[in-house]
Amino acid sequence: MQRTILVVDPDGSLQRVLEGTSIPTGWRLTVLRSTDSGELRPALAESEVLVVKTAPVSRADLEAAPRLRLIQKFGRRTENIDLDAARERRVRVETMPLEHGVWVAEQAIMLLLALTKKLLPGHLGVIAGENPGRIEPFRTSQTHSTYNWTGLGGRGTLFRRTLGIVGLGEIGTEVARRAKAFDMEILYYNPPALRLRAEAEQELAVTYQPLEQLLLRSDYVTLHIPHTGETEALFGEHQFALMKPGAYFINCSRGGVVDERALCCALATRQIAGAGLDVFEFEPLPRDSELLRLENVVLTPHNAGGPLETIAGEGRELIERIAHSLATCNR
- Choose the catalytic residue: 48, 254, 281, 314: 254
**Catalytic residue among 302, 316, 317, 321, which?**
302
123 is catalytic: no
Known catalytic membership, residue 254: yes
Q: Which amino acid is at 314?
A: E
| 3-class DSSP string for 90-115 | CCEEECCCCHHHHHHHHHHHHHHHHH
Distance CA 315, CA 149 (A): 50
> Phi/psi zone of residue 75: left (φ > 0), alpha (ψ -120 to 50 degrees), beta?
left
Tell me which residue of 159, 148, 158, 177 sits closest to 111, measured CA to CA: 158
C-alpha 169: how far from chain center: 7
Q: What is the SS3 assignment for 221?
A: strand
302 a catalytic residue: yes
Q: How far is CA 148 from CA 123, 142, 144, 239, 273, in A?
A: 12, 16, 13, 35, 22
For residue 331, the number of C-alpha atoms closer than 13 Å in the C-beta half-sphere is: 4
Q: Are strands 3-8 and 49-52 parallel, antiparallel or unpaired?
A: parallel
219-248: burial string, b at 16+ Cβ within 10 Å, e else: bbbbbbbebeeebeebbeeebbebbbeebb
Q: Which of 197, 283, 293, 324 is catalytic?
A: 283
* Catalytic residue annotation: 254, 283, 302
